[in-house]
Amino acid sequence: MMYGEPDMAASRSGGVIFERVSISFGDPSPNGYVKAVDDVCLEVGREGFVVLLGPSGCGKTTLLRLAAGLIKPDAGRITVGGATPRPGPGTGIVFQSFRLVPWMTVAQNVRFALGPLKLDRAQQRARVAEQLGTVGLSRFADAYPRMLSGGMQQRVALARAMVTEPEVLLMDEPFAALDAQTRELMQIELMRICAGRRASVLFVTHSVDEAILLADQIVLLGPRPGRVVERVAVDLPRPRWRYDVRADRRFINLRSHLEKRLRNLVLTDPQSDFFGRRLEGTYRGNPSRDT
Ligand SMILES: Nc1ncnc2c1ncn2[C@@H]1O[C@H](COP(=O)(O)OP(=O)(O)O)[C@@H](O)[C@H]1O
Ligand SMILES: [Mg+2]
């Protein structure tokens, strides 16, 4: 399935659409600027889950910041629900570093996000309680972030991003700082939470497994300047936590295909930070196998 054409139906019903988006940043190099994103078309349906997969430095975070309305493109157009994106409670963002306020309790951290909404105290309390229930942290409402494990802190960050019931959820390598076990549990947690939500999710990772596990669609990005090199529909049945999805033939074939593509992208771009530093651990088997 291709997403080059703007889809007016998706736009009306609240999805995220990138139409031929490019952006450059000022840079001290002789060129004077660095092109971070080049001619990217993307579409996340109203309840779609799109994963951006690509090497470090290819513009993934930049694409999320564009979707959040934190920065504006030099060329092209981005719409969220048919309108230009603006930062605010309509968009939930989860970062790799949890970014919790250390002197606020779990409940206060989550309630903080409700600031811009016109809710009274009782409504705020109810929303926070419900959200902490969803992420399984009801018992920790009065704890401080330092008392929690990494996985629990990231669940607080997730609750904070979701408490405004945003139309759009932007997640930037949210589980990359977690240990493998916690990461797997958080992936299931996220799938479970998203199954009960009506939100468009744009999720960034450099993990092929994570991308396949979570996505409806995977958008593979090439090294700087970031551009789309391939789109893949993941048609594995949901809920994917109910069976051994990693053992599914489709999962295995897709992983093999994507790892090969990603590895080739990296190896043809020795300037990428991904080369050497992040290759280890992301790839399985012999790196020279299909190069
Ligand atoms: N505010 C900025 N100023 C200058 N360069 C930037 C800025 N933001 C990103 N870049 C550059 O744009 C490219 C893409 O960055 P980024 O979106 O963070 O990549 P990724 O998240 O895929 O690792 C990188 O070369 C980065 O150095
Ligand atoms: Mg990034």
Residue 131's identity, in one-letter code, is Q
For residue 156, pLDDT over 60 is answered with yes
Nearest CA to ligand 1 atom 14: 59
Residue 200's identity, in one-letter code, is S
226 in helix, strand or coil? strand
Mean pLDDT of the chain: 87
| Residues within 6 Å of ligand 1 by CB | 25, 27, 34, 36, 56-62, 224
Residue 207 and residue 47: Cα distance in Å, rounded? Answer: 22
Radius of gyration of the chain (CA): 19
Q: Which residue has the higher pLDDT, 164 or 269?
A: 164
How close is the Cα of 56 to the center of ligand 1, in Å?
9
For residue 68, pLDDT over 90 is answered with yes
Taking residues 280-290, what's their average pLDDT? 46
**Ligand 1 atom showing the smallest separation from residue 54 Cα:** 22
**Ligand 1 atom showing the smallest separation from residue 55 Cα:** 22
**Ligand 1 atom showing the smallest separation from residue 63 Cα:** 17
Best residue for ligand 1 mutational test, from 21, 34, 93, 96 (most atoms within 8 Å of Cβ): 34
How close is the Cα of 71 to the center of ligand 2, in Å?
15
For residue 270, pLDDT over 70 is answered with no
Nearest CA to ligand 1 atom 13: 36
pTM for this entry: 0.86
Dihedral, 4, 10, 16, 17 alpha carbons, nearest 10: 30
Model confidence pLDDT, tens digit, residues 83-124: 999 998 889 999 888 899 999 999 999 999 998 898 999 999
**Ligand 1 atom showing the smallest separation from residue 58 Cα:** 22
Residue 242 and residue 6: Cα distance in Å, rounded? Answer: 35
Number of CB atoms found within 10 A of residue 101's CB? 12
How close is the Cα of 237 to the center of ligand 2, in Å?
29
Residue 242's identity, in one-letter code, is R
Helix axis angle for 180-195 and 150-162, nearest 10°, is 20
Decide yes or no: CATH 3.40.50.300 for domain 8-90+168-282.
yes
How close is the Cα of 51 to the center of ligand 1, in Å?
18
Q: What percent of the chain has pLDDT over 70?
A: 87
φ, ψ of residue 177 to 5 degrees: the values are -90, 0
Nearest CA to ligand 1 atom 1: 25
Confidence of residue 289 (pLDDT cuts 50, 70, 90): very low
Taking residues 63-85, what's their average pLDDT? 95
Residue 136 and residue 178: Cα distance in Å, rounded? Answer: 17
Q: Which residue has the higher pLDDT, 243 or 286?
A: 243
List the chain domain ranges. Answer: 8-90+168-282, 100-165
